[in-house]
Structure 1
């Protein structure tokens, strides 16, 4: 019975997060009340407060469902040989990220964070975006640094500049796609752009 109760509580929490996604996307974060979210989920405010302290707590939990730490993406690939192929690790991790972004939940939540969220109480969307960007850039610097030590990075290109160039390309692609995701597949276009950029950044056979 306890196991069933725990499962039911988890299902309730997920249903509230699903409802938050839908209402935030429709009304914006600042204009959405917790009562509206509870009502949309066909639950009481008491049920919502059982799982979340406030709107900021709920918003953070919603973001956590779609977080994609770069190192976790690499580890999910499950290929130990990538340690000796850091540029390929970057490529495969980014492709896995593109695949996830095309899933409706990932697209919705990122659209909320970028386009439907203002600074409100304890919710600061710019700070959250900066945190994710800094995390990704730090991981990219580590992998490009490894590529440089192995002689896989283009001569004269520092890991820091390589990471910034890659992050700028990915950020531009992401925002272009998020504005109108029906125009193109981020996986298809991202694969072409990423492969081209990594080829230009890699050491040539003559180096």
Structure 2
């Protein structure tokens, strides 16, 4: 019975997060109340407070469901040989990230963060975006430093600069796609851009 109760509590929490996604996307974060989220989920406001301290806590939990730390994307590939092939690790991690972004939940939540969220109370969307960008750029830099040590990056390109170039391209692609996600596939266009960028990083034959 205890196990069932725990499962029911988890299901309630997920249903509230699902409702929050829908209402945030429709109304914006600042104009959405916890009561509206509860009502949309067919629950009471007390149910929301049982699982979340406040709207910021709920918003952060919603983001956590779609976080894609770069290192985790690489580790999920499960290929030890990527330690000696850092550029391939970057390519495959980008592919995995693009594939996730095409799932409706990932697209919705990132659209909320980028286009439907103002600074409100403890919620600072710019700070959250900066944190995600810095994590991504730092991981890219680590892999590009490894590629430099292995002689897989052109000598006149510092890995720090290569990381900034790649991060800037990924960020621009991401924002363009969120504005026009029905116009092109982020997987198809993204991989063309990533693979082209990585070829430009490689030493001349």
Which TM-score bucket, shorter chain as reference?
A: over 0.9
Could you tell me which residue of structure 1 aligns to residue 6 of structure 2?
6
Following superposition, the deviation at residue 204 of structure 1 comes to: 2.6
Structure 1: runs of 5+ lacking an equivalent: none
Could you tell me which residue of structure 1 aligns to residue 26 of structure 2?
26
Following superposition, the deviation at residue 96 of structure 1 comes to: 0.2
Q: Paired residues, what number?
A: 205
Could you tell me which residue of structure 1 aligns to residue 56 of structure 2?
56
Q: Distance in 1 between matches of 2:165 and 2:154?
A: 13
Q: What pairs up with 1:36-47 in 2 under 5 angstroms?
A: 36-47=36-47
Following superposition, the deviation at residue 202 of structure 1 comes to: 1.1
Q: Distance in 1 between matches of 2:69 and 2:202?
A: 24
Q: Distance in 2 between matches of 1:203 and 1:67?
A: 33
Q: What pairs up with 1:1-207 in 2 under 5 angstroms?
A: 1-205=1-205
Following superposition, the deviation at residue 46 of structure 1 comes to: 0.5
Superposed CA deviations along residues 157-193 of structure 1, whole A, max 9, x for unmatched, are: 0110000000010011001100010000000000101
Q: Distance in 2 between matches of 1:75 and 1:204?
A: 30
Q: Distance in 1 between matches of 2:55 and 2:134?
A: 25
Following superposition, the deviation at residue 155 of structure 1 comes to: 1.6
Q: TM-score scaled to structure 2, two decimals? A: 0.99
Structure 2: runs of 5+ lacking an equivalent: none
Instruction: Give the match's secondary structure for 2:204.
Output: coil
Q: Distance in 1 between matches of 2:153 and 2:178?
A: 31
| RMSD of Structure 2 on Structure 1 (CA) | 0.5
